[in-house]
């Protein structure tokens, strides 16, 4: 059984016991424990079930590479699925639940799959669930979805907050082990701005566990001293609990800081995503131990050797009373020695190697009385939910059992692989290292930055330097090289720290144990614990032709679990290479993609949630609208009132009331969102003549003109009223969505094509609150406010003037988008609400009511006025909308003019704007298509037109619509069929798009 030892546990504060729950069971641990160490201390080795076969799974590792120990953490607003027990720091009151089992962890129905494992090989899902097609949606997917998945999805809203932080430095060191600290110390000596981030809560990495001296003193002393030195330097920032999640182009790094996961009651954000821009990045990310592939290597109690050591030394936890060590290298001997020193039994070390001489570690182990069997291997591990023993065989053979040894834990080591993820994220290549049987970063193919030079350098074990002296030298050299890249340098006399060297015997690559393991054994030799991929699966993939590593990965799902193959990838590659008869480097690796380790989605969102999810643009009268029943319509980022509901009325009824009231009495529209661009300069007229399809240079001062804008492709992009302010100044109104884009469009032409033209543009959209006062009583209301003459003679239709109304300085435009008598009045935004209030008072006995965008739409549709975005969609040209009158024939050139002559644009068969009226007065579905005779090559009915706008007109008491129809204007009176998505077919007659006041008398009074 696994238990807490009486002594040891360098990371624990044994004076601070904490209690927690696992699957409802009360357990205890200490401050400083991880959830994994605390579970093991409570003899909870079994922590979950595997993905496919629901096999019992125990803790394998002690760090982020852990594939099995995933739990649902917390409740309600603090709920988090798939939390890794090895990286979860224990706190008082922690509550965890194991995942992927039903009804319980101990007894799981899905485990039946393991008896079917012969029938569930790699690619099973692809092969089995392909026919018949209708089953995909209704049978297979629901079944697979039900049985798949690990953690539960949260049901309640996350109650925590998250934030970003932009940081800049010369050198970013990722990893706070001894190599990271040495690199940081060295780089900082130059005065460079250095930031060091470490994913755990502790500095020094695994060196304090592994032992060895630095500069002649215990490693921990050096770590403490170096840390103190760094803390004392102004130019150094140190952050623990901050993981380097990804390296991106041009020195961009995402750092993931967990602020309160270990202390959930702490105020402030839970996670902080550091958006770091570094001159150079040093990845001192260490190395990860590889498992060995032998039958039963997934039975709870089989763990990585160094992790077994970590639990003993860091947490005072023994994972078993009797631990068999199985290895192909010297490092695992340290585990045997550590266990022995802790008073635990190590019945045997099975070393797959055959060596002529004993190395230091072997000699030391033997001196402690540990039995060492060279050239030996595990044939099979015995046990179900817990290891009970191992069957020993010869590594060279096929697995014939020589001896059975009882034990309750197995510590395995297949060698070490540098953590190259961050090196590789942005293009760093790898090179195969034969001596250590791993991929090392290839310094000749480093990631390249903005100036084309290297911007990532590895240090220490991440470079493939595993010996203490080597890795410190490597870290120092890394810092030296990085400073040179940055044009800085180490001070004279700066020296590398000196690490102790341990004489080691070479490791031997072992990809399968025993070497000639039978099919029966291979089917129980796991590569990927979380996704249940075995040696036999990878071989099958190769046999079935998935010879590319990227294909084999996807076919088998090797390395595709939440651990992203940290333990399984190299073993998987080697297995694939073996099956293909190729060298491992020839097979290559799959692509490393960020993040290194899963990060919370909420941290990526940062502050962008709730009210701040996106900017909501508000007009000066926003609060009034809100308080007066506005139903909001998003228009870009603006919120505009769609309609103002009164009492219990429906939104539809409100719209109908607003239309009728505006036509009969008076309505107010908040038009502040329309774009307003001032264009000024000696060449402004010439410039506007290029931008608008019609002539603007001839517009008289004091007059307004409706204009169209096309892109140089000829497509209609915007429209609006232009007012001539003075000799060289025009004010251009754009659509609500067009303010920024048309401003940019103007500046683009001015800066990149006609840069010698003397024109300045300013966007003054938000300077003004603009209110449309519309309806037969509009003039009376303004006259009540008083201050200027707003009569027809003083201010005729399509004129503007500056003046005062009710004491408000304003600019009044007599323009109409409704067909009614209408004034659009602009006042300074800071007076907008007061002016609106004054209008409401002035209009009180004239029947004033505010109206929203839907009313605006109906008013304009009744008049046959087009709306950008409804009648236009980026493929429509003015000619399609019968706007030929707005296309100047006098002008030699304007944007879009030449494009309109292209064959497709000049084609007489284009769809053109018409009015549509249903034969029964109902409302046509917006967007419905008209169908014609015959079918196209896909057997679909031919389409001859579509509805672009459709409303119920209360003025006319029937449905009205506009649409684009093939040869539409030539087909007046014809009835078209529009199949709706509701299964009905609508019949509508082609009519003139101007439904109301065809002569335009009402607006011109």
Partner 1 sequence: MLIVSCPCCGITAEETEFHAHGEAHITRHTVGSTDDQMETYLFMRKNPKGVHFERWRHQNGCGKWFHMARDTMTLEVFGTYSAQTYEPPEKLLAEIDAKRPGWRDTA
Partner 2 sequence: MSDPVSALKNAAYNAGIAEISELGAVGMITLRGDLSAKVLQKAAVAAAGVNVPDQRQILTEGQGGMAWMSPDELLIMCAYEDANAKLADLQEKLAKTHALAVNVSDARAVFEVRGPDAREVMAKLAPVDLAPDQFTTGMFRRSRLAQVPTAFWMPQEDTFRLICFRSVAQYVFDVLCAAAQPGSEVEYF
- Looking at 452-460, 510-518, 714-722, 762-770, which segment touches partner 2 (CB under 8 A)? 762-770
Among partner 2, partner 1, none, what does residue 15 contact (CB within 5–8 Å per kind)?
Answer: none
> Which residue, 185, 164, 155, is CA-closest to 173?
185
157 touching partner 2, by CB under 8 A? no
Q: Which of residues 259-288 bind partner 1 (CB under 8 A)?
A: 277
> Site for partner 1 (CB under 8 A): which residue of 249, 404, 583, 837?
249
Nearer to partner 1, 251 or 572 (CB): 251
Nearer to partner 1, 35 or 690 (CB): 690
Among partner 1, partner 2, none, what does residue 764 contact (CB within 5–8 Å per kind)?
Answer: partner 2
Nearer to partner 1, 57 or 676 (CB): 676
Place of tokens 């050198």: 171
Own/partner pairs, 579-583, CB within 8 angstroms, 24+ separation: 579/538, 579/539, 579/542, 579/543, 580/542, 580/547, 583/432
- Looking at 268-276, 315-323, 327-335, 496-504, which segment touches partner 2 (CB under 8 A)? 268-276
> Site for partner 2 (CB under 8 A): which residue of 5, 111, 120, 167?
167
Nearer to partner 2, 768 or 911 (CB): 768
Q: How far is the CB of 181 from partner 2 (least distance, A)?
A: 20
| Measured distance CA(966)–CA(620) in Å, rounded | 44
| Measured distance CA(276)–CA(66) in Å, rounded | 27
Q: How far is the CB of 260 from partner 2 (least distance, A)?
A: 8
Identify whether the C-beta of residue 233 lies closer than 8 Å to the C-beta of residue 582: no
> Site for partner 1 (CB under 8 A): which residue of 504, 544, 712, 804?
712
| Measured distance CA(995)–CA(760) in Å, rounded | 41
Nearer to partner 2, 808 or 951 (CB): 808
| Measured distance CA(877)–CA(710) in Å, rounded | 8
Among partner 2, partner 1, none, what does residue 249 contact (CB within 5–8 Å per kind)?
Answer: partner 1
> Which residue, 720, 721, 952, is CA-closest to 858?
952
Residue 320, both tokens: 């078993």
Identify whether the C-beta of residue 852 lies closer than 8 Å to the C-beta of residue 624: no
Among partner 2, partner 1, none, what does residue 833 contact (CB within 5–8 Å per kind)?
Answer: partner 2
- Looking at 40-48, 65-73, 379-387, 608-616, which segment touches partner 2 (CB under 8 A)? 608-616
237 touching partner 2, by CB under 8 A? yes
| Measured distance CA(378)–CA(327) in Å, rounded | 10
E strand intervals along 430-470: 430-433, 438-441, 456-458
Nearer to partner 1, 344 or 895 (CB): 895
163 touching partner 2, by CB under 8 A? yes
Q: How far is the CB of 285 from partner 1 (least distance, A)?
A: 21
Place of tokens 């709306």: 867
369 touching partner 2, by CB under 8 A? no
Length of the chain: 1005
926 touching partner 2, by CB under 8 A? no
> Site for partner 2 (CB under 8 A): which residue of 681, 803, 847, 869?
681
Residue 7, both tokens: 């002594």
Q: How far is the CB of 705 from partner 2 (least distance, A)?
A: 21
Nearer to partner 2, 231 or 940 (CB): 231
| Measured distance CA(476)–CA(480) in Å, rounded | 6
Q: How far is the CB of 650 from partner 2 (least distance, A)?
A: 29
Q: How many residues bind partner 2 (CB under 8 A)?
A: 52
Place of tokens 């089953």: 135
Nearer to partner 1, 779 or 900 (CB): 900
Alpha helices by DSSP H, listed for 523-568, are 535-543, 549-556
| Measured distance CA(537)–CA(535) in Å, rounded | 5
Q: Which of residues 812-871 bind partner 2 (CB under 8 A)?
A: 828-831, 833-835
106: burial class by Cβ within 10 Å (0-12, 13-18, 19+)? exposed
Indicate if the alpha-carbon torsion angle 291, 292, 298, 300 is positive or negative: negative
Q: How many residues bind partner 1 (CB under 8 A)?
A: 28
Collapsing DSSP to helix, strand or coil, 902 comes out as coil
Q: How far is the CB of 983 from partner 2 (least distance, A)?
A: 42
* Phi and psi based region of residue 343 (left: phi greater than 0; alpha: psi -120 to 50; beta: remaining): left
Among partner 2, partner 1, none, what does residue 783 contact (CB within 5–8 Å per kind)?
Answer: none
- Looking at 156-164, 283-291, 386-394, 624-632, which segment touches partner 2 (CB under 8 A)? 156-164
Among partner 1, partner 2, none, what does residue 450 contact (CB within 5–8 Å per kind)?
Answer: partner 1
> Which residue, 736, 887, 728, 732, is CA-closest to 800?
732
Nearer to partner 1, 247 or 573 (CB): 247
> Site for partner 1 (CB under 8 A): which residue of 129, 140, 252, 632?
252
> Which residue, 455, 459, 453, is CA-closest to 441?
459
Q: How far is the CB of 459 from partner 1 (least distance, A)?
A: 24
Enumerate residues 6+ apart whose C-beta is below 8 A from 585: 431, 432
Distance of CA 567 to the CA centre of its chain: 25
What are the φ/ψ torsions at residue 347 (nearest 5 degrees)? -65, -30
Residue 577, both tokens: 């290479």
Among partner 2, partner 1, none, what does residue 611 contact (CB within 5–8 Å per kind)?
Answer: partner 2
Nearest-5° angle of CA 340, CA 342, CA 343? 65
Place of tokens 């896909």: 938
Residue 187, both tokens: 């780089």
- Looking at 11-19, 165-173, 328-336, 430-438, which segment touches partner 2 (CB under 8 A)? 165-173
244 touching partner 2, by CB under 8 A? no
Q: Which of residues 713-772 bind partner 1 (CB under 8 A)?
A: 713, 744, 747-748, 751-753, 755
Nearer to partner 1, 451 or 793 (CB): 451
- Looking at 233-241, 318-326, 783-791, 896-904, which segment touches partner 1 (CB under 8 A)? 896-904
- Looking at 40-48, 271-279, 652-660, 887-895, which segment touches partner 2 (CB under 8 A)? 271-279
| Measured distance CA(715)–CA(745) in Å, rounded | 14
Nearer to partner 2, 163 or 229 (CB): 163
Give, in order, the Cα–Cα distances in Å from 330 to each of 305, 340, 437. 11, 16, 14
Nearer to partner 2, 26 or 614 (CB): 614
Among partner 1, partner 2, none, what does residue 221 contact (CB within 5–8 Å per kind)?
Answer: none
> Which residue, 376, 375, 380, is CA-closest to 520?
380
Identify whether the C-beta of residue 528 lies closer than 8 Å to the C-beta of residue 568: yes
Collapsing DSSP to helix, strand or coil, 903 comes out as helix
E strand intervals along 727-786: 729-734, 760-763, 768-774
| Measured distance CA(920)–CA(721) in Å, rounded | 37
> Site for partner 2 (CB under 8 A): which residue of 102, 126, 135, 760?
760
Instruction: Compose the 393-432 pattern: x for residues touching partner 1 by CB under 8 A, - for all others.
Output: ----------------------------------x-----
Q: Which of residues 184-203 bind partner 2 (CB under 8 A)?
A: 193
Residue 623, both tokens: 């609060």
For binding to partner 1 (CB under 8 A), which residues are involved?
248-252, 277, 427, 448-452, 712-713, 744, 747-748, 751-753, 755, 892-893, 897-899, 902-903
For binding to partner 2 (CB under 8 A), which residues are involved?
161, 163-168, 193, 237, 266-269, 272, 275, 277, 607-608, 611-612, 614-620, 637-638, 678, 680-682, 758, 760-762, 764-768, 807-809, 828-831, 833-835
């Amino acid at each position: 059984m696994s238990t807490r030892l009486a002594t040891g546990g360098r990371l624990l504060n044994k004076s601070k016991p904490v209690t927690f729950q696992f699957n409802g069971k009360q357990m205890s641990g200490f401050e400083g424990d991880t959830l994994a160490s605390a579970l093991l201390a409570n003899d909870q080795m079994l922590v979950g079930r595997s993905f496919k076969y629901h096999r019992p799974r125990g803790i394998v590792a002690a760090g982020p590479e852990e594939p099995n120990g995933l739990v649902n953490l917390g409740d309600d607003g603090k709920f988090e699925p798939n939390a890794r027990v090895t990286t979860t720091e224990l706190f008082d009151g922690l509550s965890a639940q194991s995942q992927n089992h039903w009804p319980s962890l101990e007894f799981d129905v899905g485990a039946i799959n393991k008896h079917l494992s012969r029938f569930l090989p790699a690619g099973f899902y692809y092969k089995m669930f392909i026919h018949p097609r209708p089953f995909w949606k209704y049978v297979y997917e629901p079944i697979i979805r039900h049985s798949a998945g690990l953690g539960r999805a949260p049901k309640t809203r996350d109650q925590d907050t998250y934030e970003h932080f932009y940081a800049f430095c010369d050198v970013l060191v990722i990893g706070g082990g001894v190599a990271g600290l040495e690199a940081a110390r060295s780089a900082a000596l130059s005065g460079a701005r250095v930031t060091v981030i470490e994913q755990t809560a502790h500095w020094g990495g695994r060196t304090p566990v592994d032992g060895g001296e630095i500069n002649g003193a215990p490693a921990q002393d050096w770590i403490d001293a170096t840390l103190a030195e760094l803390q004392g330097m102004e130019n150094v920032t140190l952050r623990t609990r901050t993981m380097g999640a990804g390296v991106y182009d041009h020195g961009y790094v995402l750092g993931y800081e967990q602020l309160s996961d270990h202390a959930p009651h702490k105020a402030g954000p839970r996670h902080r995503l550091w958006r770091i821009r570094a001159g150079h990045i040093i990845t001192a990310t260490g190395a990860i131990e590889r498992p060995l592939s032998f039958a039963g290597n997934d039975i709870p109690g089989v763990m990585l050797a160094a992790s077994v050591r970590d639990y003993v030394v860091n947490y005072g936890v023994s994972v078993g009373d009797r631990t068999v060590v199985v290895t192909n290298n010297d490092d695992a001997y340290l585990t045997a020695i550590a266990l022995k020193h802790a008073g635990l039994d190590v019945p045997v070390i099975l070393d797959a190697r055959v060596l002529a001489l004993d190395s230091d570690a072997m000699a030391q182990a033997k001196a402690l009385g540990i039995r060492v069997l060279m050239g030996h291997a595990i044939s099979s591990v015995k046990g179900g939910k817990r290891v009970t023993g191992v069957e020993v065989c010869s590594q060279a053979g096929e697995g014939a059992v020589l001896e059975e040894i009882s034990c309750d834990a197995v510590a395995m080591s297949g060698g070490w692989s540098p953590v190259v993820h961050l090196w590789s994220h942005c293009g760093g290549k790898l090179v195969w290292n034969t001596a250590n049987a791993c991929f090392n970063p290839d310094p000749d193919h480093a990631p390249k930055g903005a100036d084309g030079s290297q911007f990532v350098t590895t240090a220490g074990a991440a470079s493939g330097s595993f010996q203490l002296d080597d890795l410190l030298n490597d870290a120092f050299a890394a810092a030296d090289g990085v400073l040179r890249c940055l044009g800085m340098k180490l001070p004279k006399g700066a020296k590398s720290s000196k690490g102790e060297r341990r004489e080691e015997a070479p490791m031997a690559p072992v990809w399968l144990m025993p070497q000639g393991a039978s099919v029966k054994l291979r089917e129980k030799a796991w590569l990927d614990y979380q996704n249940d991929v075995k040696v036999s699966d990878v071989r099958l993939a190769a046999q079935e032709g998935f010879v590319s590593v990227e294909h084999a990965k996807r076919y088998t799902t090797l390395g595709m679990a939440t651990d992203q193959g940290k333990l399984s990838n190299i073993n998987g590659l080697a297995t694939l290479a073996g099956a293909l008869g190729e060298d491992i480097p020839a097979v290559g690796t799959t692509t490393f993609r960020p993040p290194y380790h899963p990060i919370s989605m909420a941290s990526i969102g940062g502050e962008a949630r709730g009210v701040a999810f996106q900017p909501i643009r508000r007009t000066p009268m926003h609060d009034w609208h809100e308080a007066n029943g506005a139903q909001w319509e998003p228009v870009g980022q603006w919120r505009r009132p769609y309609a103002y509901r009164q009492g219990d009325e429906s939104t539809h009824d409100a719209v109908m009331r607003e239309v009728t009231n505006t036509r009969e009495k008076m309505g107010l529209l908040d038009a502040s969102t329309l774009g307003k661009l001032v264009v000024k300069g000696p060449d402004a007229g010439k410039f506007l003549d290029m931008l608008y399809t019609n002539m603007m240079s001839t517009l008289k001062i004091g007059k307004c003109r409706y204009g169209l804008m096309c892109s140089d492709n000829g497509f209609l992009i915007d429209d609006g009223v232009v007012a001539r302010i003075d000799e060289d100044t025009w004010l251009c109104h754009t659509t609500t969505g067009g303010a920024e884009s048309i401003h940019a469009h103007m500046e683009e032409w001015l800066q990149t094509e006609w840069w010698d033209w003397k024109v300045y543009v300013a966007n003054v959209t938000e300077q003004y609150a603009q209110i449309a006062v519309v309806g037969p009583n509009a003039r009376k209301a303004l006259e009540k406010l008083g201050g200027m003459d707003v009569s027809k003679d003083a201010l005729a239709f399509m004129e503007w003037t500056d003046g005062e109304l009710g004491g408000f300085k304003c600019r009044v435009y007599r323009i109409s988008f409704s067909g009614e008598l209408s004034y659009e009045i602009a006042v300074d935004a800071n007076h907008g609400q007061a002016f609106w209030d004054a209008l409401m008072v002035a209009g009180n006995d004239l029947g004033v009511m505010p109206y929203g965008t839907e009313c605006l739409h109906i008013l304009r549709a009744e008049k046959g006025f087009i709306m950008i975005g409804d009648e236009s969609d980026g493929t429509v040209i003015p000619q399609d909308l019968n706007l030929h009158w707005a296309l100047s024939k006098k002008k030699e050139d304007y944007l879009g003019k030449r494009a309109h002559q292209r064959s497709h644009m000049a084609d007489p068969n284009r769809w053109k704007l018409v009015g549509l009226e249903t034969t029964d007065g109902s409302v046509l579905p917006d967007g419905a298509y008209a169908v014609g005779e015959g079918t196209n090559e896909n057997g679909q009915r031919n389409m001859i037109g579509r509805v672009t706008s459709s409303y119920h007109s209360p003025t006319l008491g029937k449905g009205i619509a506009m649409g684009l129809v093939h040869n539409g204007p030539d087909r007046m009176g014809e009835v078209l069929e529009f199949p709706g998505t509701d299964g009905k077919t609508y019949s509508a007659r082609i009519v003139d798009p101007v439904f109301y006041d065809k002569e335009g008398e009402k607006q011109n009074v």
